[in-house]
Amino acid sequence: MLIAGVLSVCAAVVMAARALWSLSRSVAPDSTQAVMRTVAPPQLAAAVMLAAGGAVAIAAPRDAALPVVAVCVGVCIVGAVGTVAVGSWQSARYALRREAAAAECGGACATCILGCR
C-alpha cells in the first residue's frame, strides 16, 4: 500500500513538472510546440488525480488498505490516463485544424488563418 501510494505521488510530481515545463516555454508557431502546450492542462489534472490516489493509499488504515488501494488508486490511474489521452487527442485535432486552415489560406498572415476557421 505504501509502495503504490509513493509510486502514485512520484508519478504525479513527474507529470506536474512536465506540464509546468511545457507551460513555461514561449509560444512558438510550430504546431508541435502548440500541441505540447495544450496538453499541459490535462497533464496537470492527471497529476492532481494521481496525487489524490497516492495520498489515499498512504493514509489508508491497514485493515482496509487493500480494497482502498485497489479501488481508489486504480480509479485515479485510469482517470489520469484517460484524461491525458483525451487531452492529447483534442490537442492533435486542434493542431490538424490549424495546419489545414494555414494551408487553405496559404499561410499569408495571422488574420487570414483566424478568418478561415
Give 11's pLDDT tier (boundaries 50, 70, 90): very high
DSSP conformational letter for 62: S
Q: Is residue 10 very low, low, confident or very high in pLDDT (cuts 50, 70, 90)?
A: very high
Q: What is the DSSP string of 2-52?
A: HHHHHHHHHHHHHHHHHHHHHHHSPP-SSHHHHHHHHTHHHHHHHHHHHHH
Average pLDDT over residues 50-72: 82
pLDDT of residue 107: 54
0.85 surpassed by pTM: no
**Model confidence band, residue 105 (pLDDT cutoffs 50, 70, 90):** low
Please name which of 69, 72, 73, 23 lies closest in space to residue 43, comparing C-alpha atoms.
Answer: 23
Segment 58-67 mean pLDDT:
79
The DSSP 8-state label assigned to residue 73 in this structure reads: I
Query: CA of 105: how far to CAs of 15, 28, 92, 96, 114, in Å?
Result: 37, 19, 20, 14, 10
**Backbone phi, then psi, for 105, in 5-degree steps?**
-85, -10
